[in-house]
Structure 1
Amino acid sequence: MEEMGIGPLVATMSRSKPDDIAIISDENSVTYRDLHLMAQSLGHELVEAGIAYQDIVGILTEHGVNHIVAQLAVVYAGGTCLPLEETLSDADIYARLAFSKARFLIVDSVNKNGLQFGGAMINVDISKHHNSNSFTTTPPGQVRLPKDTPYDFRSHVMFSSGTTGVPKGIQILGRGIARLAHDEVWDQQAVSCQRFGHINSIGFDASLVDIWVALLLGATIVVVDRRELLSPGEFAETLARRGVTTLLITSSLFSKIASFSPHAFSKMHTLMVGGELPSVEAFKIVFREGAPKQLINAYGPTECSIMSFYHVITQEDVDLGRMPFGKPVYQTEAYVLDEDGKLVTSPGSGELWLGGPGLSPGYLFNDEKTSESFITMAHPCNPKTHIRLYRTGDKIDIYDDYMCWAGRKNREVKLNGHRVQLDVVEMELMRTKLVQNVVALKHTSSISNANHLVACIVYENGQRNFDALLVEAKRRLPKYMIPELIEFEQLPLNSNGKIAHREMSELLEQRLQRRHACILAANTPGFEGLSETEKGLKQLWAQVLIAVPTEAMDRDSNFFLLGGTSLGVTALLGHIHKTFKVALRTDQVYENPLFKDQVLIIEQAQNGQKSGYVKSVTATMREDAKLFSDKIEFLFSKAPQGKDIRNVLLTGATGFIGPFLLQELLKAPEIGKIRCLVRATTDDQAFKRLLDNFKRYGHSVTESIKSRTEVVAGDFSQPMFGLETSAYSRLVDQTDVVYHLGAHVDYTQPYSSHVEANVRGTYHLLKFASDGHLKPFHYISSVSAFGPTGLMMKDGLLEEDQSLEPYLEPALQYENGYGQSQWVADEMVSRLMRRGFPAAIYRLGFILCSSTNGMGNPDDFMGRLFSDCAKIGSYPLLLNQRKEFMAVDNVAAILKAISTSDQNLRHAYHITPDVGKSIDMNELFELTKKLCGIELKCLPYAAWIEQLKTAQTNTPLRMFPLLPMLEEEVRGHKTRWELYEGMARFSNDNTVRALELAGVDASILTSVTHEALERYLEDCLEVGKE
């Protein structure tokens, strides 16, 4: 039986239960005998018209009995079904028929008129095809139907636009459909009593479950009017009245029904939800109101015959907020592979590849696309043999006891220099349980030409909660992935019940165009009774905060709490200068985030007044360093004595240096377990961030890393890292040494914006090191903690153990907020070391790339600078300035060598190139020209800034968010960057001494080689082209 084609299988089922009901619609009930005979009759017409094996037959009928009969007839006659939706335009219908070279078209009475089809057009009429032929009798001269088609017979071609919008004809084999009916998910004892709801569009592959799986199982198909989908209440009533027990629907439709009629599925046996990322909250509602016997998360691309994986959702899954993939469908082969084609083990992440009898032969008449997606390769488990697999493009996370979908590879967009996974944004917003549906997209404003990350949302149960959703988004996502949240009453769906992304983009653009026109006219809610300055500033806020309703902006509104970002500050400052003819500093926006305060400083600037007294930032920095360090209490008697193996707590493992340092520490025999504190809401999410970062920088996840590394989902900016008391206490007891590498870095934000993470965060980690037994504390700082030292001493030498206090007033007041926070954290640790605390400070130069392959972080300052200079063909003249470039792998090795010996505690170390080996900035650009073979013109700094600003209007530049910092004059007529002229040099005597004691050659203290620099520059220039 298993090797029979699906036509003969249905015919066999019809013979075994001829009087059972096969189809129920509002107008008809059709028995299996009648269905078989009607399909035979129509099939004979196709045979008489000259149908050949696997000829493609278009089917254009209404949703219902006629269509089901037509599909069965085509398969009986040995042809291939091409279902055509009535909603398609005539042009699309003709295009699909022409592309597929269809010689036959089956129509019903509703669709037969007006068509200009050059082949044979056959009318399906169940009254005409209902005859008295018996199963055993074939009229003289007629071919016996169904034809004895083989198991691998091509039964269908389904068109799917996929992600590119270009239609693809996906070939489906009968065996791919048959395997679904053989799976154990169906209760074989009760399946013949089941009623499958036929609700899916016939152009959607899910309809093959509605029709064919139901018939192969001997169940009853219940035709449901698709117009009822517009009314969840009416649809729920129909499911109950018609006794539907089994249903496959899209996630979007499921979420909609769960919100308005959550009891709709309570009487059903099996409900399968697929097509898109499901809403955990929708599943929770259904469980609460009454779940079916089996509530299934289903997954599968059309290329692998509708379904490839399924999982019966449990209450535990819902409580944990997870949607596991479950197990493969019958005979499905599935492999999660890394970028090298190797199997990914738990825990890990990779791409899903599928094989087995459900695999499609490929895309119709498209060998190139087929060869790209369907690949014959060495078997992942047995390299001596070969296997044909489909590359899904879906990313999968594997955990110890389950695996889950983690987004599409081709839904990655580049935004403001960052790679953003739109699927991840959607997934995290859905997990907040505040939204019913969401689609994330990159939107380029036709008004400002600026790029925005937008999430179009439908609130759960219509309950608007913008503030709570924004807070959750900030908690769950990196700041560059926090979207603009724009509410819609509903999201547009295509005929298959999936979100129509192209239409969504058009609706969004129309919404924003209308909003902009109303803002310019100041006739939206919230403009009443405002002064001219208030009205003007509110218009500017509304242009920057494109998702925030104007009525939500009042005099006490906070720019950042409403979603303002550093990029938004850049845009706002530009708008303010253009509208009010005043130049505000970046820190004035950060220090005055309230609407009413910004109005005040604008009016003061217009009147030539200085803003009121503000305590100097250096005074605040000095107070913070003393306050937080004095709060740390410790006892020397609590220090561990002579422990051979030490367990580590590491922060910053998801940064650039982190994975290199982690790997180096794992090489040390005295290091045991390494626990990485990662900002995330769950340990699974934290581990995924860690693994993703490893892959980003070309590291393989070895068994040693998996067995000796753990993650702790937390946030060091919060007291006790945001952990429960018991979890925090357990971590205290388990840890013997702390490495603090994590930091918030934003060159446009002031000191106050870095306090929470960099100052309070360091305090929380120092307190952790002093809680329980006293733990050595290794603080990875930066040479930025000295500030622009050229203001104090020309070509002087900065000693490692000297105090930073002398640099506060003369230099640090002109440093950016990040550098200022580094001074405070560095000074906190220094003060504690002077009190005897077991700590060490490592001040790093600029960590550029790997010494072996040149791989770096293209999104950091230098990566953006190189790519944009190449794009505009110029670089700034920076006299007597250097960058202390170091290779990241060398830095990690140095950190390990020094930190694993307690003899090196209570000292500071400069990890910079040896004196005289650093690179002058102008020499660096000349070297760039030579290594990359590009033309770069040296311009005076002010002229270069103007060129950068001018170029941004035509070509998005990655340096644009940094413009306020780059052009703001902070001392005389010089910007922060220009103040680094004549900077001092860094002594590294302590570092050299410690390396010698560890047996490490001090020549490792060298700048990046030309070979590594060349590879790094090539990567930066390539990223700049994207």
Structure 2
Amino acid sequence: MTTTDLSPEPVPLPLSYTRARGLTLHELFERQARARPHAVAVRHHGVELSYGDLNARADALAARLIEAGSRSGNHVGVCGRRSPEALVAFLGILKAGAAYVPLDDDLPPARLRAMAEDAEVRTVVVMPGSTCRVRGVKARVDLGAGGTRPVPRARGAATCARTLGGPTDCAYVMFTSGSTGRPKPVMVPHRGVVRLGLSGPPTSTPGPQDTVLHAYGLSSDASTIEIWAALLNGARIEIADREELLSAPGLERRIHQGGVTIAYLTTSVFHHMARAKPRALSSLRFVSAGGEAMDADLARLVLRDCPRTTVVNFYGPTENSVVSTFQQVRAADCDSGHVPVGRPYGASTCYVLRPDGSEADAGEEGELAVGGDGLALGYFGDPELTAQRFVRPPCAAGERVYRTGDRVVRDRAGALAYLGRMDRQVKLRGHRVEPDEVETRLRAHPQVGEAVVELAPARDTLIAWVTPARAGAPLAVDELWQYCAQWLPAPAVPRLIAAERLPVTAAGKVDRHALLRTAQTLDAPPPHGDASTEVSTAAGAGGLGDVLAEIWHTVLRVRPAPSDSFFGLGGDSLLAAEAVTRTIAALGLDAEHSSSLIRALLTDPTLAAFTAAVRTARDGAPSAPGGAAGSHFVREAELGFTLPTPTGPAPCPAGHARCC
């Protein structure tokens, strides 16, 4: 079997994949467990599980699930965060013939409940320390501390892998943003994930000698390739804590201490590392970025500082099992300013379509459609949307493909370049976000009459203009913030601007261009000046709290009060990393404080608590030479951050509007 490539010559698939194509994930894992039962499969905080131990625990969990009433084809929720126990849960669910549904604790509660409801989750496996927020379940299986302790091999568990499941059965359900106001459940088959782990180019495929970083939440696409590329190839998984992923020194330490050789990063984290300390990736033999367009200048920095590291740009939607194309990045790829997304990955197919479904010529722009063995089964419970997005265009000779909605062009050599979206969907910090979903969610609030959501001119956040349901009635903007945060992932929580009415065009439609023109004044950059002078001016005007409030204002585009939560104001983990990086650069703290400050922000995310943590770091350790942090933080500061002289009103108290 060969792939359908865009180049004149098809690319042969690895023999290991052609032999494994008809098997399930748990069958292939069991082969690794039999071949290397004592090899370490996963390590976290000094706790290790061998392949044999992981297999035995998964067998025992499969038996418990069957006894609890789980049946072949059921969807079983996994509540918690990345951990060795999560791997036990995934494998145990698959061995029971079911599909797993990751329900990461870090997601908003209302969104978690909607995901579980739409995936028809009736059984959940709960990780240690997790609070199960899913309602209406019929059975709950707690792994607890037993998830990492030897457990007896349950009767009947040994036959699970041989009797339940096939390669085209659903392996997991992952959610993407939906324009209806609810996330869309995508069903991914075993074969799609086997293709992901075994059919790629040799440089991206781990071996038993490799250690793969696992740093992303269970509900993130990025975790799929981290977990299964390692387990299907006999590699070891090194689990990183959240604060390590967000700190350049912290991630560098985890890579070195864990002996990590392969890291599949999101583009946002790749960019963060490239800005802060690209040399931190130099000990890796392979690093990839995916989820957003790769910045050519930042890629060039990594190539310069990591000459022995293979750097790859991945592209792919959830509907095609995470990765559809790849481009091994070289210096020449960065010269045009746009790094290509490349050619089909492994057992994948790609077509550039004209509006009539025919295939576009080289150099002609069109919509990218992807297919092959990674293609999802469709959207669970939504045959109409499945039929709309999964099609059989004339040029594909009857093959079923997924219309991505992405505009691309291919060159004469067959490489694809990403040009943008055909609809209003945007990528924010690695997340697919539908502005229409945010509009729908806002309009559902009883206080809101109309809502218009657009990407801010700076293209780093959403802005929502909302009008009251009753003319003249006040809008509780704080309440709307909390309402959005309960439903939407952090990058989709918009800046809220209350308005009595919205401008309209001559045709009577909302004038979105006029709204965006008003938003440009909100996004105007602060006045430039000497950073150290501005820090001292701000500190003299109101102290450390005012300095940090300005930094939060710059990052979140919202002026905080001391009691406000960073995440309640629309922050997420990547913005937390940016806030800490800017804090260290502005105050001249030692770069080694980054991990502890990120940990402090994640633990207690109020501005007051963060101010106390920064004060402890500042007073307890000397500043870096010259009033700046290490050289990588100087580079971050040079990217445009300067602390403005305080102007305008003081930080607004909780309960007031947040559109300033």
User: Normalising by the residue count of structure 2, what TM-score does the alignment of the two structures yield?
Assistant: 0.63
Aligned to 1:455: 457
Larger Rg, first or second structure (1 or 2):
1
Aligned to 2:314: 298
Aligned to 2:140: 121
Distance 1:542 1:317, change over 3 A: closer
Distance 1:552 1:227, change over 3 A: closer
Q: Does 1:87 align with 2:77?
A: no
Is the 8 Å Cα contact of residues 40 and 236 (structure 2) preserved in structure 1?
yes
Aligned to 2:15: none
Distance 1:48 1:292, change over 3 A: farther
Aligned to 2:175: 159
Distance 1:48 1:548, change over 3 A: closer
Is the 8 Å Cα contact of residues 440 and 456 (structure 1) preserved in structure 2?
no
- 1:748-759 equivalence runs, <5 A: none
Highest relative contact order (Cα 8 Å, sep 6+), 1 or 2? 2
Aligned to 2:334: 318
- 1:663-678 equivalence runs, <5 A: none
Distance 1:550 1:206, change over 3 A: closer
Q: Residue 348 of structure 1 is aligned with which of 329, 339, 364?
A: 364
Distance 1:342 1:120, change over 3 A: same
Q: Does 1:332 align with 2:352?
A: no
C-alpha distance in 1 between matches for 2:293 and 2:417: 10
Could you list the runs of 5+ residues in structure 1 that have no partner in the other structure? 413-421, 431-435, 459-493, 514-540, 554-1026
Name the amino acid aligned to 2:457: A
C-alpha distance in 1 between matches for 2:87 and 2:95: 12
Is the 8 Å Cα contact of residues 441 and 455 (structure 1) preserved in structure 2?
no
Distance 1:219 1:49, change over 3 A: same
3-state DSSP of counterpart to 2:399: strand
Name the amino acid aligned to 2:119: S
Name the amino acid aligned to 1:144: T
Q: Residue 146 of structure 1 is aligned with which of 161, 176, 186?
A: 161
Runs of 4+ displaced beyond 6 Å: 439-444, 449-453, 541-544
Name the amino acid aligned to 1:455: P
Q: Does 1:230 align with 2:246?
A: yes
- The alpha carbon displacement at 1:297 in A equals 0.3
C-alpha distance in 1 between matches for 2:176 and 2:314: 19
Q: Residue 398 of structure 1 is aligned with which of 385, 410, 420?
A: 410
Distance 1:329 1:113, change over 3 A: closer
- The alpha carbon displacement at 1:182 in A equals 2.1
- 1:27-426 equivalence runs, <5 A: 27-112=46-131, 117-125=136-144, 127=146, 130-131=149-150, 140=155, 144-148=159-163, 149-162=165-178, 165-187=181-203, 191-291=207-307, 293-378=309-394, 380=395, 382=397, 386-401=398-413, 402-411=415-424
Name the amino acid aligned to 2:407: K
Is the 8 Å Cα contact of residues 352 and 408 (structure 2) preserved in structure 1?
yes
Aligned to 1:14: 33
- 1:271-670 equivalence runs, <5 A: 271-291=287-307, 293-378=309-394, 380=395, 382=397, 386-401=398-413, 402-411=415-424, 454-456=456-458, 501-503=491-493, 505-506=494-495, 509=497, 545-548=521-524
- The alpha carbon displacement at 1:124 in A equals 1.1
3-state DSSP of counterpart to 1:298: strand
- 1:794-833 equivalence runs, <5 A: none
Is the 8 Å Cα contact of residues 397 and 404 (structure 1) preserved in structure 2?
yes
**1:786-810 per-position Cα deviation (integer Å, ceiling 9, x unaligned):** xxxxxxxxxxxxxxxxxxxxxxxxx
C-alpha distance in 2 between matches for 1:281 and 1:17: 42
3-state DSSP of counterpart to 1:263: helix
Distance 1:86 1:112, change over 3 A: closer
3-state DSSP of counterpart to 2:370: strand
- The alpha carbon displacement at 1:189 in A equals 9.3
C-alpha distance in 2 between matches for 1:273 and 1:6: 24
Is the 8 Å Cα contact of residues 76 and 121 (structure 2) preserved in structure 1?
yes
Is the 8 Å Cα contact of residues 77 and 147 (structure 1) preserved in structure 2?
no
- Report the more deviating stretch, 222-231 or 123-132: 123-132
- The alpha carbon displacement at 1:9 in A equals 0.6
C-alpha distance in 2 between matches for 1:114 and 1:304: 29
3-state DSSP of counterpart to 2:392: strand
Is the 8 Å Cα contact of residues 348 and 370 (structure 2) preserved in structure 1?
yes
Distance 1:551 1:319, change over 3 A: closer
**1:305-326 per-position Cα deviation (integer Å, ceiling 9, x unaligned):** 1111111101111233231222
Is the 8 Å Cα contact of residues 38 and 126 (structure 1) preserved in structure 2?
no
- 1:958-969 equivalence runs, <5 A: none
- 1:722-801 equivalence runs, <5 A: none
Is the 8 Å Cα contact of residues 125 and 140 (structure 2) preserved in structure 1?
yes
Aligned to 1:865: none
Is the 8 Å Cα contact of residues 37 and 130 (structure 1) preserved in structure 2?
no
C-alpha distance in 1 between matches for 2:169 and 2:302: 40
Task: Indicate the RMSD between aligned Cα atoms, in angstroms.
Answer: 3.7
C-alpha distance in 2 between matches for 1:280 and 1:548: 25
Is the 8 Å Cα contact of residues 78 and 147 (structure 1) preserved in structure 2?
no
C-alpha distance in 2 between matches for 1:361 and 1:175: 11
- The alpha carbon displacement at 1:333 in A equals 1.6
Aligned to 1:25: 44
Aligned to 1:4: 23
Could you list the runs of 5+ residues in structure 2 that have no partner in the other structure? 1-19, 440-447, 461-483, 501-516, 530-660
Name the amino acid aligned to 1:156: Y
Name the amino acid aligned to 2:64: E
C-alpha distance in 1 between matches for 2:244 and 2:104: 17
C-alpha distance in 2 between matches for 1:41 and 1:196: 26
- The alpha carbon displacement at 1:67 in A equals 0.8
C-alpha distance in 1 between matches for 2:155 and 2:527: 79
Distance 1:12 1:369, change over 3 A: same
- When the two structures are aligned, how many residues end up with a matched partner? 455
Name the amino acid aligned to 2:406: D
Name the amino acid aligned to 1:214: A
- The alpha carbon displacement at 1:139 in A equals 5.8
Distance 1:348 1:44, change over 3 A: same
Aligned to 1:998: none
Is the 8 Å Cα contact of residues 181 and 213 (structure 1) preserved in structure 2?
yes
- The alpha carbon displacement at 1:455 in A equals 2.7
Identity within the alignment, %:
26
3-state DSSP of counterpart to 1:239: helix
Name the amino acid aligned to 2:422: K
C-alpha distance in 1 between matches for 2:434 and 2:158: 54
Name the amino acid aligned to 1:274: G
C-alpha distance in 2 between matches for 1:129 and 1:552: 54
User: Normalising by the residue count of structure 1, what TM-score does the alignment of the two structures yield?
Assistant: 0.41
- The alpha carbon displacement at 1:366 in A equals 0.8
Distance 1:453 1:110, change over 3 A: closer
Distance 1:5 1:344, change over 3 A: same
Name the amino acid aligned to 2:85: N
3-state DSSP of counterpart to 1:206: helix
Is the 8 Å Cα contact of residues 198 and 210 (structure 1) preserved in structure 2?
yes
- The alpha carbon displacement at 1:360 in A equals 1.0
**1:740-790 per-position Cα deviation (integer Å, ceiling 9, x unaligned):** xxxxxxxxxxxxxxxxxxxxxxxxxxxxxxxxxxxxxxxxxxxxxxxxxxx
C-alpha distance in 1 between matches for 2:518 and 2:338: 37
Name the amino acid aligned to 1:98: E
- The alpha carbon displacement at 1:547 in A equals 4.3
C-alpha distance in 2 between matches for 1:208 and 1:217: 14
3-state DSSP of counterpart to 2:279: coil
**1:212-261 per-position Cα deviation (integer Å, ceiling 9, x unaligned):** 12100111111100122332222222222212111112111211121112
3-state DSSP of counterpart to 1:152: coil
3-state DSSP of counterpart to 1:238: helix
C-alpha distance in 2 between matches for 1:69 and 1:264: 31
Distance 1:115 1:84, change over 3 A: closer
**1:136-162 per-position Cα deviation (integer Å, ceiling 9, x unaligned):** xx7655561324421112110011124
Distance 1:293 1:389, change over 3 A: same
